[in-house]
Structure formats: C-alpha cells, structure tokens
C-alpha cells in the first residue's frame, strides 16, 4: 500500500507540473495580449498577465525561460504594428507613434531607425514603391 501511494504521489506531482506547463502563455499569446493592450493605450506587465490569466511574476519567469523579457516583446509588437501601419495605412507618422504608445514622433523615429536601419517615412516609401518585400518585415528578419 505504501508503494502504491508513492507511485500515485509521483504521478500526481508530474500531473501538477504538466498542468502548469499547459497553462503557461506562449510567446504568441503574450504578443497577442500586448497588441490588444496597445489598442487601448497601454501595455503594462500587470494588465498583460491578468489578460493571460497568470501573475505578473509568472509571466516574467516564463519570458525569461524563453530568453526574453517583457520590454523586448513590447518593442517587437510596437515595431511590427508600426511596420504594418506604415505600409497599409495613410496615418501620419505622429499618429502611428501615438497609437503604439510612444511619447512623440521623434522618440518613435529614433527607435524605428535603430531597429530597422531606416526612417519611418523611408520605410513607407520603399514599401509603397514595391522595393520592400514582406519577408523584410521585422519579425522574420530576412530579406527576399
């Protein structure tokens, strides 16, 4: 009987760990929650964690396990959103900057330039003139 209980305890402990892993958010889920938050003017760690049904600390640990952190994911989502809006909308750059959470167009332009090696207006022109392909978007990192 004692041996049977030990076996049950091992299986039960394994099930607890497995269930926790199933409920941990994926990188995709975190990005989606941040993108949704950006539409409502803010993407705080606490709000994103709440949206995903985990604590802020659990989310931080999960991101660390993935080799990243919350700020990096927010920057990725902002950049992806900016690239999409620059390519597909006629919104002014200042509107795009505000929409994705930058204090102003200059801070947005500096960040965009650092990450994409081109200015937002130049990115828009290249994309619209057909000189930039979808595979050059920031989340793929490749070129045609």
In whole angstroms, give the CA distance from residue 99 to residue 83: 13
Asked if residues 139 and 80 have their Cβ atoms less than 8 Å apart, the reply is yes
Conformational region of residue 92, where left means phi above 0, alpha means psi within -120 to 50, and beta covers everything else: beta
Write the pLDDT tens digit of every residue in 5-62: 455 445 444 444 444 444 568 889 999 999 888 877 678 899 999 989 999 999 999 9
Write the pLDDT tens digit of every residue in 116-140: 999 999 999 999 888 765 445 555 4
Question: Residue 3 — pLDDT band, cuts 50, 70, 90?
Answer: low
Number of Cα atoms under 13 Å in the Cβ half of residue 54: 22
pLDDT at 22: 46
Task: Show me where the domains of the chain are located.
Answer: 1-68, 74-133
Q: Into which CATH architecture does domain 74-133 fall?
A: Orthogonal Bundle (1.10)
In whole angstroms, give the CA distance from residue 37 to residue 43: 5
């Amino acid at each position: 009987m004692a041996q049977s209980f030990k076996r049950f305890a091992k299986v039960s402990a394994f099930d607890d760990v497995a269930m926790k892993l199933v409920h941990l958010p994926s990188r995709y889920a975190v990005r989606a929650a941040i993108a949704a938050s950006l539409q409502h003017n803010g993407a705080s760690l606490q709000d994103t964690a709440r949206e995903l049904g985990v604590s802020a600390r659990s989310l931080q640990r999960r991101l660390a396990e993935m080799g990243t952190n919350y700020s990096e994911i927010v920057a990725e989502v902002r950049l992806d959103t900016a690239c999409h809006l620059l390519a597909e909308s006629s919104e002014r750059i200042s509107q795009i900057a505000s929409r994705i959470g930058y204090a102003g167009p200059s801070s947005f332009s500096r960040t965009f330039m650092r990450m994409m090696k081109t200015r937002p207006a130049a990115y828009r022109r290249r994309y619209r003139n057909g000189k930039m392909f979808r595979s050059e978007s920031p989340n793929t990192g490749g070129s045609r």
